[in-house]
Amino acid sequence: MNTATQLHINAFLFGAGHHTMGWRHPDSSADRVGDIAYFEELAQLAESGCLDAVFFADGHSINRQYSAGVPGLLEPITALSAMARATHHIGLVTTVSSSFYTPFHAARMLASLDHISGGRAGANIVTSMFDAEAQNHGMTALPPHAERYERADEFVHVIAQLWDSWSDDALPRDRENGTFIDPGHIRPIHHEGKYFSVAGPLNVPRSTQGRPVLFQAGSSEAGREFAARWAEAIYSVSWDKDSALEFAADMHRRLARAGRGETAVPILPGLVTYIGATHAEALEKKRVLDAFLDIDAAIAQLNIFTGQDYTNHELDEPVVALPAAELFTGPQGRYLTVQRIIETKHPTLRELLGFLAAGGGHATMIGTPATVADEIQDWFESVACDGFNLMCPAYPESLKDFVELVVPILQQRGLFRTAYPGSTLRETLGLRRPAVRNLTGHAR
């Protein structure tokens, strides 16, 4: 049994939905993906189901060769700041690239979001994936994978120091003595490292929850070690329960080696759901979206995710095993997932594209509200995960199905909250409020 008593569930917001071609449906929300009111409504819907957080992934380039893709049209921290004003309890998580941001800039923006939201901010720290992104930041290509994670390690070390450069007593606001800030409780960090030189202090004080929650989503060796050192919650990619069990066991071992074995770090694999009154109805919802799949565009995307060229591969011929993941310089998590699908399903190219149509190979549960709740409960009680990062194939319909049909069943079984435990994301995730740490690492 899982030692946690209740699930954690995030909603990963993405365009009109995570089905790559679902946006082509005449009733889709494709016309609203640049409308902040649309995302505010999605956040409010997720909050009505007491979900932990909404999450935005982010990239720093656009793939002009993939015309069917729905790009993110709003910068996430800006969008989440607006969404903070439209919600009250739900967490607000964004991707932040350690390869392109400076620590001071990232720390300041995230701390500001934390204040605007009343302590509900979180950041998924990534090293970025594509050379096209690097070319928008004065580079010709991304640095090697190991170097990117070395930079990320220093990046997080610095932003944590910046967030702790103010104590909780730094703002006395003493009108009588004319003291708004207490300089004795605000200090520089004097960081001089391989990648960054940052004097500090930050010019934003600590928030209600102390500092934003740090998430991590890398599946590579370097990514897992990074998560073991820094992550307070982990987004993962697991095609099936067995792979989720392997990942969770591996992360628990790494956390223990990092001296964090007693620290609660929720592991949240991605989850795609199709929910109907009957299993046949749920399958029909998937079939309707799959009918819009553009084979050429899907192959182009698969080529990006694997570094292989399937352009001339026969659709109904089997896909051969992929090379070792260590030889691939792109997104490791997605690559490992495709590799797992090929190894376990031995699919034809057409079948592989079908598996990847929604969620890119994340766990997919299809059925009635009760059977989907059964699968979720099975994963949770098997200690395969602490919850899920919900990747709805079509927004808002799929999210509405989950919130209105599945969540009440999980609540009735005592597996999910019926009310938020507090006002901050840390309280929702069951994480402690971190103490301010000085430069030698001691709490003060």
User: How confident is the model over 140-194, as pLDDT tens digits?
Assistant: 999 999 999 999 999 999 999 999 999 999 999 999 999 999 999 999 999 999 9
Alpha-carbon distances, residue 150 vs 97, 138, 247, 300 (angstroms)? 13, 19, 22, 31
Domains of the chain, residue spans: 8-293+357-429
Question: Which class is domain 8-293+357-429?
Answer: alpha beta
Distance of CA 439 to the CA centre of its chain: 29
Residue appearing with tokens 């992360």: 251
Check: CB of residue 289 under 8 Å from CB of residue 358: yes
DSSP string, 387-431: EEEE--SSTTHHHHHIIIIIHHHHHHTTSS-SS-SSSSHHHHHTP
What is the pLDDT, as a whole number, of residue 291?
A: 84
pLDDT in tens, 112-135: 999 999 999 999 999 998 999 999
Low-confidence ranges of the chain (pLDDT < 50): 1, 439-444
Distance of CA 109 to the CA centre of its chain: 18
Query: From the CB of residue 174, how many other CB atoms can be counted at a distance below 10 Å?
Result: 11
Among candidate residues 9, 3, 4, 11, the one with its CA nearest the CA of residue 399: 11
pLDDT in tens, 63-87: 877 666 788 899 999 999 999 999 9
What is the pLDDT, as a whole number, of residue 2?
A: 55
DSSP 50: T
What is the pLDDT, as a whole number, of residue 239?
A: 87
Kind of pairing between the strands at 197-198 and 191-192: antiparallel
What is the pLDDT, as a whole number, of residue 340?
A: 86
**Which residues have a Cβ under 8 Å from the Cβ of 175 and sit 6 or more positions away?**
none
Query: From the CB of residue 67, how many other CB atoms can be counted at a distance below 10 Å?
Result: 9
**Residue 121, helix vs strand vs coil:** strand
**Residue 6, helix vs strand vs coil:** coil
What is the pLDDT, as a whole number, of residue 246?
A: 95
Tell me whether residue 370 is exposed, middle or buried, using C-beta atoms within 10 angstroms of its C-beta: 0 to 12, 13 to 18, 19 or more.
Answer: exposed
Check: CB of residue 193 under 8 Å from CB of residue 158: yes
Among candidate residues 303, 306, 390, 361, the one with its CA nearest the CA of residue 10: 390
What is the pLDDT, as a whole number, of residue 420?
A: 98
Average pLDDT, the chain: 93
Tell me whether residue 350 is exposed, middle or buried, using C-beta atoms within 10 angstroms of its C-beta: 0 to 12, 13 to 18, 19 or more.
Answer: middle
Tokens linked to 48: 């009505």
